């Protein structure tokens, strides 16, 4: 009955391989990285700036977990009539990403 032993061994190996693939951690594998979060936030900011506004790239930090980020920068408003009268305002935004890496930018002031 060598055939039944081979079959049994194949089944055991298949089950072992399936079980190994079912484990894993509770941490989502597709969570966005810090550089992806910052790039996303910077792109969203560029879309929202007026023609007379400029800003440095965001600085982003995790805010509780890998899916919630707080990003900060300063927005400058250029005054064409008086270069010394430019306004600078801090800007903080929240970026939230789901398990698929899809992110949402939520402006705050």
DSSP state string for 35-91: HHHHHHHHHHHHHH--TTEEEPPPEEEESSSTTEEEEEEEEEE--TT-GGG-EEEEE
* Residue 1 pLDDT exceeds 70: no
Question: Domain locations in the chain?
Answer: 27-107
Q: pTM of the predicted model, to two decimals?
A: 0.63
* 57-97 tens-digit pLDDT: 999 999 888 889 999 999 999 877 776 667 889 999 999 98
pLDDT at 27: 45
């Amino acid at each position: 009955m060598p055939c039944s032993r081979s079959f049994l061994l194949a089944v055991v190996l298949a089950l072992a391989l399936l079980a190994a693939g079912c484990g894993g951690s509770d941490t989502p594998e597709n969570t966005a990285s810090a550089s992806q979060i910052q790039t996303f936030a910077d792109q969203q900011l560029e879309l929202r700036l007026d023609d007379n506004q400029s800003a440095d790239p965001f600085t982003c930090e995790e805010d509780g977990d890998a899916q919630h980020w707080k990003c900060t920068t300063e927005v400058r408003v250029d005054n064409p009539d008086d270069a010394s009268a430019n306004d600078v305002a801090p800007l903080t935004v929240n970026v939230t990403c789901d398990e698929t890496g899809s992110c949402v930018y939520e402006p705050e002031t």
